[in-house]
Amino acid sequence: MEILISYLTRRQKGGVSRRTEERSAEALHFGRSANAEVYLADPRIRFEHAVVHQRPGGLFIEVEKHSDVRVNGQPTSNRSVIVGDVIGIGPFDVTLVEPPEGKDIAIEVELVRPLGDDYGQLAARSTVRLEDYGLSRRRWSWAGITGILIFFLVFPLLYFNQHTESTADKTVGARFDAVWDSGPVSSPHQFISDQCNICHEKPFIQVMDSACLSCHAPITQHFDLARAELAVIPQFSNLPATTCNDCHREHNGGKSLSISTESFCTDCHAGIEKSLANTSVKNAGRFDQTHPQFRPNIVSDPASRMFTRVSLDDPAALTEKSGLKFPHDAHLKKDGVRGPNGKETLQCGSCHNLTRGAANFDPIGMEGDCERCHQLVFDPRRPDRTLPHGQANNAQMLIREFYSDYGLRGGINDVQEPATAATRRRPGEQAPVTTQRQSDPRAWADQQAQRVADMSFGKTMCGNCHEVSSGEGKGPLNWSVVPAVVNKAWLPRGRFDHSAHSDMLKCDSCHAAQNSKQASDVLLPKIAVCQNCHGGENASNKVQSTCITCHDFHLPGTPRMGNTKAWRKHTDGDAALRDTQTPVAGQK
């Protein structure tokens, strides 16, 4: 018989592709055998699955024993078939179609149940249903969802709405919003751990910067983002839009609340010029390897209170011009110095006081630290009278008044006259009035005042400790003092805590004060001293120190955080941001 076979393949988009074959044979064999006229490549098909013969009465199908064949959906063994019948052979559907001229039989073959569909077929043919046993998946799903909604959404919401103001109720179980708990709150925030709504201001909305800033109001940026070309560092190109949460992970177990890895900082600081072209900041990496030498802030001009940063590796430029004169060595002599009550040996702590709990020493003060030995007595015969410290004008006014008073009223010897028995004053006695003083008391007083001022300012007192000038040509009593600017923090961008080190180290392992002859010496330790003990974050034989061991991130003098709108505007080219910036806090 003459056979026309069309293999149909459905494409994903819905079209059908057709491949036709023509055969002539005794009968039409279906199977996996190579001899079969219709070769069906599928493991579910038998070698010889079924045969269609042409008999006098028409077409007849013979099914191999136990083979899966259905005619129009009905399982079958042997029977006759006609044009229009669909013969299911395993996963294939074979449709008998009207044969064209010259053909005895025409079929279309299509794979309709690809492999992997077995379970579906089995399930479809199974008569056992979960519903029959009360196990309806749908019903259980609904019950589950309703339970979850009630216990984990409705109850917590009701609870939340009733307790938005405060909760003193700490009993677990009664607190339905505890089911949303995602782990303990960090230890610094433990005190609000039962008031979730302080941070989670609105349900279903991420914690916002404003919640953090309600307590941490003054938090600033790290640097003035408006100055930087952030786009060049891909991982920070979005820095203006970062939120507190990006760097501070809450509910993070015992881990630090802040990002603390070295790499977070060195991504920028290993090549700082990439994020800020015209910066003077040096590149910095792991502390004991590529961290730069310290550059303390030192007074370079006391009159205008100017500070300059000078590297400790640049001894020539390392001269602090604080306006003060002070020899450490003269005061630290082993055999002591003269004090009001005889010789005493001074320790560092005689002048430098560490207020309990403070990281740094209090600044030196003339009154507290020096005056008991360096009294501002201007007339040796009146040791009870001292000049006020700190204001050159007031001191000169006092001197002038002091001598005018005596010029008019008497009471003290003319120091120019040799002291005789007759003129030496005894306690409680009025001094005899000299001839000059009688004839022109005002001129005498002026002359005395100038002489004593010249002496006190120029030599014995102020000039000992200060840079002074006599104001020559500007009239009498015109001495002035270059104001002393006592530095408060030489390394303000780093952190150093004396009390954390004072048990381990003597002062002179870091400060060579013993041999310092002048106040202009900078007595700070170089970085190598710290590197003896401090290593990088993974150091094995040193104190493990990451960047934030010694540095703050939110640097003072930079614009405030939480103003992301303004930054975004700026990055779009709006220059208004600069106006919102707080001025850089200079050291005054």
Q: Does 551 bind ligand HEC (CB under 6 A)?
A: yes
505-534 residues in contact with ligand HEC (CB under 6 A) are 505, 507-511, 513-514, 519, 521-525, 529-530, 532-534
Smallest gap from Cβ 405 to ligand HEC, in A, equals 19
Would you call 228 helix, strand, or coil by DSSP?
A: coil
Determine which residue in the list 33, 54, 404, 464 makes contact with ligand HEC, applying CB under 6 A: 464
* Contact stretch for ligand HEC (CB under 6 A) within 100-108, 144-152, 257-265, 566-574: 257-265
Determine which residue in the list 32, 79, 103, 248 makes contact with ligand HEC, applying CB under 6 A: 248
How far from chain centre, in Å, is Cα 89?
A: 69
Listed residue (191, 8, 9, 2) closest to 108, CA to CA: 8
23/389 with CB nearer ligand HEC: 389
Handedness of CA 326, 328, 330, 332 (dihedral sign): positive
Listed residue (246, 227, 327, 173) closest to 570, CA to CA: 227
Residue 225 DSSP symbol:
G
194-213 residues in contact with ligand HEC (CB under 6 A) are 196, 198-200, 206-207, 209, 211-213
Whole-angstrom CA distances from 306 to 174, 208, 406 are 62, 41, 43
Smallest gap from Cβ 144 to ligand HEC, in A, equals 20
* Contact stretch for ligand HEC (CB under 6 A) within 61-69, 127-135, 383-391, 417-425: 383-391
Determine which residue in the list 157, 276, 397, 433 makes contact with ligand HEC, applying CB under 6 A: 276
- On the CB side of 318, how many CA atoms lie within 13 Å of its CA? 15
Q: How many C-beta neighbours within 10 Å does residue 295 have?
A: 19
Whole-angstrom CA distances from 288 to 432, 451, 516, 551 are 75, 59, 28, 15
* Contact stretch for ligand HEC (CB under 6 A) within 19-27, 441-449, 480-488, 564-572: 480-488
Per-residue interface string for the shown chain with ligand HEC, residues 316-335, x marking contact by CB under 6 A: ----x-x-xxxxx-xxx---
Smallest gap from Cβ 446 to ligand HEC, in A, equals 19
* Contact stretch for ligand HEC (CB under 6 A) within 7-15, 67-75, 147-155, 240-248: 240-248
Q: Does 453 bind ligand HEC (CB under 6 A)?
A: no
Would you call 69 helix, strand, or coil by DSSP?
A: strand
Sequence length of the chain is 588
* Contact stretch for ligand HEC (CB under 6 A) within 13-21, 66-74, 120-128, 174-182: 174-182
For 562: left if phi > 0, alpha if psi spans -120 to 50, otherwise beta; the answer is left
95/464 with CB nearer ligand HEC: 464
Contact 21, 2 (CB under 8 A): no
Which residues, listed in sequence order, are joined to residue 22 by a DSSP beta bridge? 4
Q: Does 588 bind ligand HEC (CB under 6 A)?
A: no
